[in-house]
Chains A and B, each alone.
Chain A
Amino acid sequence: MKYLCLVYYSEAEVYSMSKGEWQSLVRECLACGESLRASGHMLGGEALQPVHTATTVRVRNGKVTTTDGPFAETKEQLAGFYFIEAKDLNDAIQVASRIPPARLGSIEIRPVRDLHAELAPNVE
Protein backbone atom coordinates (compact mmCIF):
# COMPACT_ATOMS: atom_id res chain seq x y z
CA MET A 1 0.00 0.00 0.00
CA LYS A 2 1.41 3.39 -1.04
CA TYR A 3 1.13 6.52 1.04
CA LEU A 4 2.39 10.05 0.54
CA CYS A 5 3.66 11.67 3.72
CA LEU A 6 3.49 15.45 3.35
CA VAL A 7 5.79 17.35 5.66
CA TYR A 8 4.55 20.70 6.95
CA TYR A 9 6.24 23.20 9.22
CA SER A 10 6.35 26.91 9.88
CA GLU A 11 9.00 28.29 7.51
CA ALA A 12 9.31 31.37 9.69
CA GLU A 13 10.27 29.18 12.63
CA VAL A 14 12.59 26.79 10.83
CA TYR A 15 14.37 29.45 8.78
CA SER A 16 15.19 31.39 11.93
CA MET A 17 17.24 28.49 13.30
CA SER A 18 20.95 28.93 13.89
CA LYS A 19 23.26 27.45 11.27
CA GLY A 20 24.24 24.66 13.64
CA GLU A 21 20.63 23.72 14.38
CA TRP A 22 19.77 23.82 10.69
CA GLN A 23 22.65 21.57 9.72
CA SER A 24 21.87 19.03 12.37
CA LEU A 25 18.24 18.93 11.17
CA VAL A 26 19.42 18.38 7.58
CA ARG A 27 21.73 15.60 8.74
CA GLU A 28 18.86 14.00 10.64
CA CYS A 29 16.62 14.15 7.55
CA LEU A 30 19.30 12.50 5.41
CA ALA A 31 19.71 9.75 7.99
CA CYS A 32 15.93 9.29 8.15
CA GLY A 33 15.79 8.82 4.36
CA GLU A 34 18.62 6.28 4.59
CA SER A 35 16.93 4.28 7.31
CA LEU A 36 13.60 4.27 5.44
CA ARG A 37 15.41 3.00 2.35
CA ALA A 38 17.03 0.29 4.44
CA SER A 39 13.67 -0.81 5.91
CA GLY A 40 12.15 -0.95 2.43
CA HIS A 41 9.61 1.80 3.06
CA MET A 42 11.07 4.54 0.88
CA LEU A 43 9.82 4.89 -2.70
CA GLY A 44 10.98 8.46 -3.08
CA GLY A 45 11.03 11.82 -1.43
CA GLU A 46 12.45 15.31 -1.58
CA ALA A 47 12.76 18.44 0.49
CA LEU A 48 11.26 21.53 -1.14
CA GLN A 49 12.49 25.09 -1.59
CA PRO A 50 10.51 27.59 0.50
CA VAL A 51 7.04 28.61 -0.57
CA HIS A 52 8.09 32.05 -1.93
CA THR A 53 9.83 30.19 -4.77
CA ALA A 54 6.56 28.49 -5.76
CA THR A 55 4.61 29.12 -8.95
CA THR A 56 0.93 28.34 -9.46
CA VAL A 57 -0.50 27.46 -12.86
CA ARG A 58 -4.17 27.35 -13.79
CA VAL A 59 -5.90 26.64 -17.09
CA ARG A 60 -9.31 28.26 -17.54
CA ASN A 61 -11.17 28.18 -20.85
CA GLY A 62 -8.01 26.93 -22.48
CA LYS A 63 -6.04 29.89 -21.25
CA VAL A 64 -2.99 29.41 -19.06
CA THR A 65 -2.48 31.79 -16.15
CA THR A 66 0.67 31.75 -14.11
CA THR A 67 0.97 33.43 -10.72
CA ASP A 68 3.43 33.33 -7.88
CA GLY A 69 2.55 31.74 -4.59
CA PRO A 70 0.14 29.94 -3.29
CA PHE A 71 -0.96 32.76 -1.01
CA ALA A 72 -3.03 30.81 1.48
CA GLU A 73 -2.42 32.31 4.91
CA THR A 74 -1.49 29.14 6.73
CA LYS A 75 0.70 28.76 9.77
CA GLU A 76 2.58 25.82 8.28
CA GLN A 77 3.84 25.36 4.76
CA LEU A 78 4.56 22.28 2.69
CA ALA A 79 8.26 21.59 3.15
CA GLY A 80 8.79 18.21 1.58
CA PHE A 81 7.39 14.77 0.97
CA TYR A 82 8.14 11.11 1.51
CA PHE A 83 6.53 8.64 -0.86
CA ILE A 84 6.39 5.36 1.05
CA GLU A 85 5.30 1.76 0.82
CA ALA A 86 3.72 0.58 4.09
CA LYS A 87 1.83 -2.48 5.22
CA ASP A 88 -1.13 -0.47 6.49
CA LEU A 89 -1.96 2.84 8.16
CA ASN A 90 -0.40 1.82 11.49
CA ASP A 91 2.86 1.04 9.68
CA ALA A 92 2.64 4.39 7.86
CA ILE A 93 2.07 6.17 11.20
CA GLN A 94 5.23 4.46 12.54
CA VAL A 95 7.17 5.76 9.53
CA ALA A 96 5.73 9.28 9.80
CA SER A 97 6.63 9.47 13.46
CA ARG A 98 10.29 8.88 12.50
CA ILE A 99 10.40 11.88 10.11
CA PRO A 100 12.40 14.57 11.98
CA PRO A 101 10.17 17.61 11.18
CA ALA A 102 7.26 15.74 12.85
CA ARG A 103 8.69 17.33 16.02
CA LEU A 104 8.48 20.83 14.55
CA GLY A 105 5.35 20.76 12.42
CA SER A 106 3.17 17.93 11.23
CA ILE A 107 3.10 15.06 8.77
CA GLU A 108 -0.04 14.46 6.73
CA ILE A 109 -0.44 10.84 5.59
CA ARG A 110 -2.48 10.37 2.42
CA PRO A 111 -3.24 6.98 0.89
CA VAL A 112 -2.73 7.15 -2.88
CA ARG A 113 -5.46 6.40 -5.39
CA ASP A 114 -5.16 3.75 -8.04
CA LEU A 115 -6.52 5.54 -11.12
CA HIS A 116 -6.37 2.41 -13.28
CA ALA A 117 -8.55 0.53 -10.79
CA GLU A 118 -11.04 3.39 -10.84
CA LEU A 119 -11.44 2.99 -14.60
CA ALA A 120 -11.91 -0.77 -14.36
CA PRO A 121 -15.49 -1.98 -15.02
CA ASN A 122 -17.92 -2.93 -12.25
CA VAL A 123 -16.60 -0.55 -9.66
CA GLU A 124 -19.36 0.17 -7.19
Chain B
Amino acid sequence: MPSLAVWKFASCDGCQLTILDCEDELLTLAEQVQIATFAEASSAMVGGPYDLSLVEGSITTPSDAERIREIREQSTTLVAIGACATAGGIQALRNFADIGEFTSVVYARPDYIHTLATSTPPSAHVTVDYELRGCPIDRRQLLDTLAALLVGRKPRLPAATVCTECKRSGVACVTVAEGIPCLGPVTHAGCGALCPRHHRGCYGCFGPAEDPNVAGLALKLVDDGMPRADVVLALRTFAAWAEPFRAESRRDEEGEP
Protein backbone atom coordinates (compact mmCIF):
# COMPACT_ATOMS: atom_id res chain seq x y z
CA MET B 1 0.00 0.00 0.00
CA PRO B 2 1.45 3.44 -0.86
CA SER B 3 2.45 5.51 2.14
CA LEU B 4 1.19 9.04 2.77
CA ALA B 5 2.77 11.63 5.05
CA VAL B 6 1.29 15.01 5.98
CA TRP B 7 3.63 17.76 7.12
CA LYS B 8 3.01 21.13 8.71
CA PHE B 9 5.11 24.28 8.52
CA ALA B 10 3.97 27.86 9.35
CA SER B 11 0.22 27.74 8.75
CA CYS B 12 -3.25 27.69 10.29
CA ASP B 13 -3.79 23.89 9.94
CA GLY B 14 -6.75 24.54 7.62
CA CYS B 15 -5.37 22.71 4.58
CA GLN B 16 -4.55 19.53 6.48
CA LEU B 17 -7.95 19.87 8.14
CA THR B 18 -9.38 19.67 4.62
CA ILE B 19 -8.19 16.04 4.58
CA LEU B 20 -10.23 15.35 7.72
CA ASP B 21 -13.11 17.31 6.19
CA CYS B 22 -13.48 14.58 3.55
CA GLU B 23 -16.00 12.97 5.90
CA ASP B 24 -17.48 10.68 3.27
CA GLU B 25 -14.16 9.55 1.84
CA LEU B 26 -11.72 9.54 4.77
CA LEU B 27 -12.16 5.95 5.88
CA THR B 28 -12.06 4.72 2.25
CA LEU B 29 -8.87 6.72 1.69
CA ALA B 30 -7.37 5.12 4.80
CA GLU B 31 -7.94 1.72 3.15
CA GLN B 32 -6.08 2.80 -0.01
CA VAL B 33 -3.01 4.38 1.57
CA GLN B 34 -0.97 3.81 4.66
CA ILE B 35 -1.21 7.09 6.59
CA ALA B 36 2.35 6.93 7.87
CA THR B 37 2.69 10.35 9.47
CA PHE B 38 -0.07 12.83 10.18
CA ALA B 39 0.56 14.34 13.61
CA GLU B 40 -2.74 16.20 13.74
CA ALA B 41 -4.64 12.95 13.30
CA SER B 42 -2.54 10.19 14.83
CA SER B 43 0.17 9.63 17.41
CA ALA B 44 1.57 6.73 15.34
CA MET B 45 4.44 8.15 13.31
CA VAL B 46 6.12 5.84 10.85
CA GLY B 47 9.55 6.74 9.47
CA GLY B 48 10.24 7.36 5.78
CA PRO B 49 10.66 6.98 2.91
CA TYR B 50 7.16 7.99 1.81
CA ASP B 51 5.47 7.57 -1.55
CA LEU B 52 3.54 10.81 -1.18
CA SER B 53 4.06 13.81 1.06
CA LEU B 54 1.53 16.58 1.43
CA VAL B 55 3.16 19.74 2.72
CA GLU B 56 1.20 22.53 4.39
CA GLY B 57 2.71 25.84 5.45
CA SER B 58 5.59 28.13 4.60
CA ILE B 59 9.24 28.12 5.57
CA THR B 60 9.93 30.74 8.26
CA THR B 61 12.62 29.35 10.55
CA PRO B 62 16.17 28.03 10.00
CA SER B 63 15.20 24.59 11.30
CA ASP B 64 12.18 24.41 8.97
CA ALA B 65 14.44 25.25 6.01
CA GLU B 66 16.43 22.16 6.96
CA ARG B 67 13.34 20.02 7.65
CA ILE B 68 11.79 20.62 4.21
CA ARG B 69 15.01 19.30 2.60
CA GLU B 70 14.86 16.15 4.69
CA ILE B 71 11.21 15.64 3.78
CA ARG B 72 12.02 16.09 0.10
CA GLU B 73 14.73 13.43 0.33
CA GLN B 74 12.28 11.02 1.96
CA SER B 75 9.41 11.60 -0.50
CA THR B 76 8.87 10.17 -3.98
CA THR B 77 6.19 12.76 -4.75
CA LEU B 78 5.82 16.03 -2.90
CA VAL B 79 2.63 18.07 -3.19
CA ALA B 80 2.46 21.57 -1.68
CA ILE B 81 -1.04 22.30 -0.37
CA GLY B 82 -2.47 25.76 0.10
CA ALA B 83 -1.49 29.42 -0.12
CA CYS B 84 1.22 29.18 2.56
CA ALA B 85 2.92 26.26 0.81
CA THR B 86 2.55 27.71 -2.70
CA ALA B 87 3.09 31.44 -2.08
CA GLY B 88 4.29 31.96 1.50
CA GLY B 89 0.85 32.73 2.92
CA ILE B 90 -0.38 35.78 4.81
CA GLN B 91 2.73 35.58 6.99
CA ALA B 92 4.78 36.56 3.93
CA LEU B 93 3.68 40.13 4.62
CA ARG B 94 6.84 40.18 6.74
CA ASN B 95 8.80 40.01 3.48
CA PHE B 96 7.72 43.59 2.75
CA ALA B 97 8.63 44.79 6.25
CA ASP B 98 11.40 44.78 8.83
CA ILE B 99 11.29 41.49 10.73
CA GLY B 100 13.11 42.97 13.73
CA GLU B 101 10.41 45.59 14.10
CA PHE B 102 7.66 42.95 13.69
CA THR B 103 9.20 40.77 16.39
CA SER B 104 9.54 43.64 18.83
CA VAL B 105 5.93 44.64 18.27
CA VAL B 106 4.62 41.16 19.07
CA TYR B 107 7.06 39.83 21.65
CA ALA B 108 8.34 41.29 24.91
CA ARG B 109 11.58 39.32 24.50
CA PRO B 110 12.57 39.30 20.82
CA ASP B 111 15.77 37.48 21.82
CA TYR B 112 13.66 34.35 22.53
CA ILE B 113 12.40 34.25 18.96
CA HIS B 114 14.20 32.46 16.16
CA THR B 115 12.69 33.34 12.85
CA LEU B 116 13.76 34.04 9.28
CA ALA B 117 13.27 37.48 7.75
CA THR B 118 11.09 35.94 5.05
CA SER B 119 8.23 33.49 4.68
CA THR B 120 8.70 31.47 1.51
CA PRO B 121 7.00 28.48 -0.08
CA PRO B 122 8.69 25.07 -0.11
CA SER B 123 9.38 25.56 -3.84
CA ALA B 124 11.92 28.25 -2.91
CA HIS B 125 13.89 25.52 -1.11
CA VAL B 126 13.25 22.19 -2.85
CA THR B 127 11.64 20.74 -5.97
CA VAL B 128 7.88 20.54 -5.61
CA ASP B 129 6.02 18.11 -7.90
CA TYR B 130 2.50 19.56 -7.73
CA GLU B 131 0.84 22.54 -6.13
CA LEU B 132 -2.73 22.79 -4.85
CA ARG B 133 -3.74 26.43 -4.58
CA GLY B 134 -6.12 28.06 -2.18
CA CYS B 135 -6.57 29.49 1.28
CA PRO B 136 -7.70 26.87 2.06
CA ILE B 137 -7.38 24.24 -0.69
CA ASP B 138 -10.54 22.92 -2.28
CA ARG B 139 -11.66 19.55 -0.95
CA ARG B 140 -12.73 18.17 -4.34
CA GLN B 141 -9.43 19.17 -5.89
CA LEU B 142 -7.56 17.44 -3.06
CA LEU B 143 -9.52 14.22 -3.52
CA ASP B 144 -9.07 14.31 -7.28
CA THR B 145 -5.33 14.84 -6.88
CA LEU B 146 -4.98 11.97 -4.40
CA ALA B 147 -7.01 9.69 -6.67
CA ALA B 148 -4.89 10.66 -9.69
CA LEU B 149 -1.60 10.02 -7.90
CA LEU B 150 -2.87 6.68 -6.57
CA VAL B 151 -3.73 5.41 -10.05
CA GLY B 152 -0.66 6.99 -11.59
CA ARG B 153 -2.20 9.70 -13.75
CA LYS B 154 -1.37 13.39 -13.73
CA PRO B 155 -3.63 15.46 -11.43
CA ARG B 156 -6.05 17.81 -13.18
CA LEU B 157 -5.23 21.28 -11.90
CA PRO B 158 -6.71 23.75 -14.40
CA ALA B 159 -4.79 27.00 -14.64
CA ALA B 160 -7.82 29.09 -15.69
CA THR B 161 -9.03 32.13 -13.77
CA VAL B 162 -11.85 32.55 -11.26
CA CYS B 163 -13.37 34.82 -13.90
CA THR B 164 -13.63 31.84 -16.25
CA GLU B 165 -15.17 29.64 -13.54
CA CYS B 166 -17.70 32.37 -12.84
CA LYS B 167 -18.73 32.68 -16.50
CA ARG B 168 -18.96 28.91 -16.88
CA SER B 169 -21.26 28.63 -13.89
CA GLY B 170 -23.50 31.43 -15.10
CA VAL B 171 -23.00 33.79 -12.17
CA ALA B 172 -23.65 37.43 -13.09
CA CYS B 173 -20.41 39.42 -13.13
CA VAL B 174 -20.32 41.44 -9.90
CA THR B 175 -18.07 44.08 -11.46
CA VAL B 176 -20.04 44.60 -14.67
CA ALA B 177 -23.47 44.38 -13.06
CA GLU B 178 -22.81 46.21 -9.81
CA GLY B 179 -19.36 47.80 -9.88
CA ILE B 180 -18.01 45.55 -7.12
CA PRO B 181 -14.18 45.32 -7.30
CA CYS B 182 -13.08 41.75 -8.11
CA LEU B 183 -9.73 39.99 -8.49
CA GLY B 184 -11.38 37.18 -10.47
CA PRO B 185 -9.71 38.12 -13.80
CA VAL B 186 -6.20 37.49 -12.37
CA THR B 187 -6.89 34.82 -9.74
CA HIS B 188 -6.23 31.10 -10.17
CA ALA B 189 -9.31 28.90 -10.53
CA GLY B 190 -10.22 26.13 -8.13
CA CYS B 191 -12.74 27.53 -5.65
CA GLY B 192 -15.75 27.41 -7.98
CA ALA B 193 -16.20 31.21 -7.95
CA LEU B 194 -17.28 31.19 -4.33
CA CYS B 195 -17.15 34.91 -3.63
CA PRO B 196 -19.09 36.13 -6.69
CA ARG B 197 -21.71 33.52 -5.80
CA HIS B 198 -22.00 35.31 -2.45
CA HIS B 199 -22.32 38.74 -4.01
CA ARG B 200 -18.75 39.59 -3.25
CA GLY B 201 -15.71 40.28 -5.40
CA CYS B 202 -12.99 37.62 -5.49
CA TYR B 203 -10.23 38.48 -3.02
CA GLY B 204 -7.53 36.39 -4.59
CA CYS B 205 -7.05 33.62 -2.02
CA PHE B 206 -6.05 31.10 -4.72
CA GLY B 207 -3.19 33.38 -5.82
CA PRO B 208 -2.34 34.53 -9.34
CA ALA B 209 -3.45 32.59 -12.43
CA GLU B 210 -0.94 31.78 -15.17
CA ASP B 211 0.27 34.94 -16.96
CA PRO B 212 -2.26 37.27 -15.36
CA ASN B 213 -2.53 40.88 -16.45
CA VAL B 214 -2.34 42.25 -12.92
CA ALA B 215 -1.22 45.71 -14.03
CA GLY B 216 -4.24 45.93 -16.35
CA LEU B 217 -6.64 44.96 -13.60
CA ALA B 218 -4.98 47.40 -11.19
CA LEU B 219 -5.60 50.24 -13.68
CA LYS B 220 -9.22 49.18 -14.05
CA LEU B 221 -9.71 49.11 -10.27
CA VAL B 222 -8.27 52.63 -9.96
CA ASP B 223 -10.44 53.79 -12.89
CA ASP B 224 -13.46 52.39 -11.06
CA GLY B 225 -12.63 54.47 -8.01
CA MET B 226 -10.43 52.31 -5.78
CA PRO B 227 -7.52 54.28 -4.29
CA ARG B 228 -4.16 52.92 -5.47
CA ALA B 229 -3.21 52.25 -1.81
CA ASP B 230 -6.21 49.93 -1.51
CA VAL B 231 -5.24 48.14 -4.73
CA VAL B 232 -1.88 47.41 -3.11
CA LEU B 233 -3.62 46.04 0.00
CA ALA B 234 -5.91 43.89 -2.17
CA LEU B 235 -2.85 42.28 -3.78
CA ARG B 236 -1.09 41.84 -0.45
CA THR B 237 -3.11 39.18 1.30
CA PHE B 238 -2.82 35.40 1.24
CA ALA B 239 -0.65 35.14 -1.87
CA ALA B 240 1.13 38.49 -1.48
CA TRP B 241 4.58 37.03 -2.25
CA ALA B 242 3.53 35.24 -5.46
CA GLU B 243 5.50 37.01 -8.17
CA PRO B 244 2.73 38.61 -10.28
CA PHE B 245 0.95 40.04 -7.21
CA ARG B 246 4.22 41.02 -5.56
CA ALA B 247 5.53 42.83 -8.63
CA GLU B 248 2.40 44.90 -9.14
CA SER B 249 2.08 45.78 -5.45
CA ARG B 250 5.70 46.98 -5.48
CA ARG B 251 5.48 48.98 -8.69
CA ASP B 252 5.17 52.33 -6.90
CA GLU B 253 8.04 51.84 -4.50
CA GLU B 254 10.35 50.81 -7.35
CA GLY B 255 9.68 54.14 -9.01
CA GLU B 256 8.19 52.80 -12.22
CA PRO B 257 5.28 54.59 -13.83
Q: Do A and B come from one complex?
A: no
